[in-house]
Structure 1
Amino acid sequence: MSFESSEQRSPSLLDASCEVFVHDMAALSPTDATAWGIPGFEGELEDFSPEHWESVAERCREMVADIDAFDDSTDDSDDEDDFDEVDHVTAAVLRDRLCLIADKHHRGEYLRLLNNIESPVQTIRDTFLLMPSDTDEERDAIRTRLGKVANSLEGYRESLAESAAHGKVASHRQVDEVISQCEDLADSGSMLEGLGVDPRDAEVAAAKRAFGEMADWLGEQLAPHASHEDAVGRERYEMFSHEFVGDVVDLDEAYCWGLEQVRDIAAQQQGIATQLYGEGTSVKQAYRNLNHEERYRIEGVDALQQWMQETADKAIAELDGKHFTIPEEVRTIEAKIDPSGTGGIFYTPPSDDFVRPGRMWWSVPEGQTVFHTWQELTTVFHESVPGHHLQLGQTLAEGDDLNLWRRVACWNSGHGEGWALYAESLMAELGYHEDPGTRMGLLDARRLRAARVVLDIGLHLGKKNPEGTGVWDYSYAKSFLRENTAMDEANLQFELLRYLGWPGQAPSYAIGERLWHQLRHDAQAQGMSTREFHEQALSYGSIPMSILREELLD
């Protein structure tokens, strides 16, 4: 599919239905409305109760029924009600994504949802990062939403309790971590005190108290029932893998491929270590040496933020018009420091009208003041351009062809995170890692992504570890991760907990990148240039890789 016709496409009945669907979902999940930039729900907050999850699933089922009804009325005539080329893609993506939501709801996955990165506590916490606080009206919205935190957490407890009654509880590691996060939000110095409203306001105090009560409930009521098993098993893992990759993955083949990648990348890194520091220098020693080189050293969070901003701005200026056509609205990005301090690095897209710009966030752990550009240059490319910022900004700029759901609400990790890794390797192709230090950083990032394919699949499927000395468990996973990354201990611990509590998500990066490279190879074999491939592939928005492949290739 290509959107190069001189005639502007008129919105279809399916597009109109999607528009209604997005606004209905925004009403059900106001935090999503904030993320999508849909106004009218700023002071609202969903309650994450069993009734909430049932309402979401029911609305998804209704939307699938609408698609089926539209599809049944489509025939070979030229009636304006018929699906066009864009509608067929939209329908396929909707069925894939919404049926997964319904399936997960049927299995009770949302009731038990609790982990260190992507569950209701983090959703509630992080929505405030996206809320502006410049006007009295905006500050009132923050206060109103803060005032609803207690009710939201109460509904969340109802879901967790119902799931626990059926013996479905997250692992004790995840429960302990969320307790810690809730305590941080309840304590003096909480990020809730820095939202742009007076930290002495009653709503701030009430929200902090609610998180403290949540921590107590988790410790007293849920933790005694928490599982001591980290693995989720093959059946659940296959569902999560399909959700995140957007394709059916041969997990056993992917595990073996990941091991091969780890070994190959390690060999490349050893070559650079020898090149930089001479024979006998290990990769780990090269990491330490690079960390002591002043040219790669940044001191202070403010300096880190400035470096992130300057690096992203330079990439946009140099790539635009040469390797990509970057829409005017996407040429602005903001580098931000996330006050939560969890150690994660992430991107939040612009609002649909681009009033809120795209932002890359660095969540600096408490006490960390020194940063190393050799290791992190590739991260900026991942989050900004040509990574997430270009990818998601390009999707929003396709307003004439992609409906609201396709633009703001449809996200597939294999496509999105796979593209961001592809963008990292592309920058090496384009000459941005000629410096052996930053090349080592790129390879460190690639080795980590390959290693977590192995770790994630190995642990959750209960495979034998690579040495054959036993099966994967927490201790082995931690040592394997430490062996295959240069990240510090605080970030490493956060990452490991993320893999244990969010199964299938971490491998979607490297597996998704693999699918992107395969797709580019096949598109070029059909005569498409690299720039044409990029522009056409990104024009579809973030859709499952299996559907993108069907549509892009002849």
Structure 2
Amino acid sequence: VAALRDWMRDVYAPAIEGAPDVVGRERYARWVRYFNGTDLDLDEAYAYGWSEYHRLLGEMRTEAEKILPGAATPWVALAHLDEHGTHIEGVDEVQRWLQSVMDEAIEKLDGTHFDLAERVRRVESRIAPPGSAAAPYYTPPSDDFSRPGCTWLPTMGQTRFPVYDLVSTWYHEGVPGHHLQLAQWKHIAGNLSRYQASVGMVSANAEGWALYAERLMDELGFLTDPERRLGYLDAQMMRAARVIIDIGMHLELTIPEDSPFHPGERWTPELAQEFFGAHSSRPADFVESELTRYLSMPGQAIGYKLGERAWLTGREQARERRGDAFDLKTWHMAALSQGSLGLDDLVDELSQL
């Protein structure tokens, strides 16, 4: 690792000094295929990101008005929640509370919207060890389920945790998100190739399912509390912003004239960082790390929102094809038993279930 660091610093960095930060349309399209499993219409996807931006901004303003009437922006209301919203006090307490969030989801969803094997029902909430990633994450169970699937919360030294940004995150990382998909793959591994169930995972498939899971919980009425729903919408807005920024920046597209942010200007990394900071409740160091991520991994971050769209499209097409015979629980379990697919194949398969 030290030798690689030295090479990056002493050989690679000087060699690319002065090169553009963005990759351009042709290279970007290749990265999109790698991370998403689709030959994407980049201009259509960019327009979709903006349409989601406007939809979500309207919904966020509605929820923000319930929390802090007259707030200049939804993010002012979210900052208010940081200080005055519902909180969990204590590391042990938040660990137990997050476990209860997943336990409740399993009890309410199993038998109604999913049909879960007993070993898939087991998932544990844990506190991430020091040195872990700064964002919450999930680790799947071992092949024999002797080690359960786990969600991990990095505390970053905090002992007071706002609820608004945790609930939908645990629907994403745990139940019905990453855990139900990845644990189901383990459960039916005998019907899948090892490639389908593990190393062949397409990022946009898994992240798209997890974002679909957040939306499903909103559809099912689990996010009626204004604090929790505003937190969910803020997380959705972050994923829409990723589509806008990642595509717009790497292709150096123009910001639409109906945008409230620098209309008519051409995207640069500096504008992207400003835009993300203005449309997120995350701190400045997180925003900076996100821009580094987008510049370093072109086409990866768009997979959350575009993956969610693929799952929703597949569900709607299956519903239209089956009509009154469509059963959401049956569809969910068949969909979660496909193994990983790129987005083009995913939509085709989901629509036939």
Whether these two folds match at TM > 0.5 is: yes
Paired residue for 1:515, among 303, 310, 325?
A: 310
Q: String of CA shifts for 1:42-61, please: whole Å, max 9, x gaps.
A: xxxxxxxxxxxxxxxxxxxx
- 1:531 paired residue number: 329
C-alpha distance in structure 2 between counterparts of 1:396 and 1:487, whole Å: 34
Return the alpha-carbon distance in structure 1 between the equivalents of residues 142 and 71 of structure 2.
51
Matches within 5 A, 1:232-311: 232-294=23-85, 296-311=86-101
Q: Which has the higher contact order (CA 8 A, sep 6+)?
A: 2
Superposed CA RMSD: 2.1
- For structure 2, which runs of at least 5 residues remain unmatched after alignment? 257-261
Contact 1:344 1:364 in 2 (8 A): no
- TM-score w.r.t. the length of structure 2 is 0.90
What does residue 223 of structure 1 align with?
13
> Measured at CA, do residues 280 and 299 of structure 1 come closer, stay the same or move farther in structure 2, by a change above 3 Å?
closer
Aligned-pair distance for 1:280?
4.9
Shift of 1:352: 1.6
Aligned equivalents of 1:550, 1:284: Cα separation in 2? 38
Answer whether contact 2:114 2:330 (CA < 8 A) is retained.
no
| Cα contact 1:452–1:507 (8 A) shared by 2 | yes
The match for 1:488 is 283
Map of 1:355-370 to 2, 5 A cutoff? 355-365=146-156, 367-370=157-160
Task: Give the Å deviation of 1:226.
Answer: 4.1
CA-CA distance at 1:381 after TM superposition: 0.3
CA deviations on 1:479-537 (whole Å, 9 max, x unpaired) are 11011111122322222221221111110110111111111111011222211211111
Output the amino acid matched with 2:59. Answer: Q
Pairwise mapping of residues 378-417 of structure 1 onto structure 2 (< 5 A)?
A: 378-417=168-207
- Is this contact kept in 1: 2:137–2:151, CA < 8 A? yes
Cα deviation 1:347-368 (Å, max 9, x = unaligned): 2211222122212223444x54
User: Matches of 1:235 and 1:302 in 2, distance apart?
Assistant: 49
Specify the code of the residue in structure 2 equivalent to 1:268: E
Aligned CA distance change for structure 1 residues 480 and 535 (closer, same or farther; 3 Å) = same
Distance 1:513 1:353, change over 3 A: same
The residue that corresponds to 1:137 in the other structure is none
State the Cα distance separating 1:284 from its structure 2 match.
Answer: 2.1
Question: How far apart in 1 are the matches of 2:159 and 2:77?
Answer: 21
Change over 3 Å in CA distance of 1:489–1:280 after alignment to 2? closer
In structure 2, C-alpha distance between the alignment counterparts of 1:301 and 1:455, rounded to whole Å:
35
Letter in 2 for 1:277: L
CA distance in structure 2 between the aligned counterparts of 1:368 and 1:502, rounded to whole angstroms: 30
Where do 1:45-444 residues align within 5 Å? 153=1, 211=2, 215-227=5-17, 229-294=20-85, 296-336=86-126, 337-365=128-156, 367-444=157-234
Task: Name the aligned partner's letter for residue 336 of structure 2.
Answer: L
Match of 1:541 among 306, 315, 339: 339
Runs of 4 or more, structure 1, over 4 Å off, are 213-217
TM-score (norm 1): 0.58
Q: Cα 1:306–1:229, aligned 2, differ >3 Å: closer, same or farther?
A: farther
Q: How many residues align?
A: 342
Give CA deviations for 1:168-207 in whole Å, capped at 9, x if unaligned: xxxxxxxxxxxxxxxxxxxxxxxxxxxxxxxxxxxxxxxx
Pair 420,511 (structure 1): closer, same or farther in 2 beyond 3 Å: same
Residue 32 of structure 1: aligned partner: none
Cα gap change, 1:215/1:244 in structure 2, threshold over 3 Å: closer, same or farther?
closer
Amino acid at match of 1:509: Y
Q: 2:235 aligns with which of 431, 442, 445?
A: 445
- Report the AA paired with residue 29 of structure 2: E
Confirm whether residue 505 of structure 1 aligns to residue 300 of structure 2: yes
| Residues 1:474 and 2:259 are matched in the alignment | no
Q: Deviations over 1:285-341 (max 9, x none)?
A: 2112212225x2234444433332222222222221221111211112222314225
The C-alpha deviation readout for 1:248-287, integer Å capped at 9, x for no partner, is 2111011011012112211111111222222455312211
Displacement after TM superposition at 1:225 (Å): 2.7
Aligned-residue sequence identity (percent) comes to: 39
Unaligned runs of 5+ in 1: 1-152, 154-210
Instruction: Please state how far the C-alpha of 1:447 moved relative to its aligned partner.
Output: 0.7
Partner SS for 1:374 = coil
Structure 1 distance, partners of 2:280, 2:21, is 22
Could you tell me which amino acid in structure 2 is paired with residue 375 of structure 1? D
Judging changes above 3 Å, is the alpha-carbon distance between structure 1 residues 342 and 389 closer, same or farther for their aligned structure 2 residues? Answer: closer
The answer to whether the 8 A contact 1:301-1:369 is kept is yes
Provide the C-alpha distance between the structure 2 equivalents of 1:219 and 1:371, rounded to a whole number of angstroms.
38
Displacement of 1:219: 3.2
Distance in 1 (CA, whole Å) between partners of 2:143 and 2:71 is 53
Q: Is the 8 A contact 1:344 1:491 kept in 2?
A: no
1:550 equivalent in alignment to 2:343: no
Change (3 A) 1:397 1:458: same
Q: How big is the shift at 1:445? A: 0.7
Which secondary structure state, in structure 1, belongs to the residue aligned with residue 191 of structure 2?
A: coil
Contact 2:311 2:347 in 1 (8 A): no
- AA of the residue aligned to 1:508: G
What is the distance in 2 between the residues matched to 1:544 and 1:515?
Answer: 10
2:190 and 2:133 map into 1 onto residues whose CA distance is 38
Structure 1 residues 400 and 221, CA, compared in 2 at 3 Å: closer, same or farther? closer
State the Cα distance separating 1:231 from its structure 2 match. Answer: 0.7
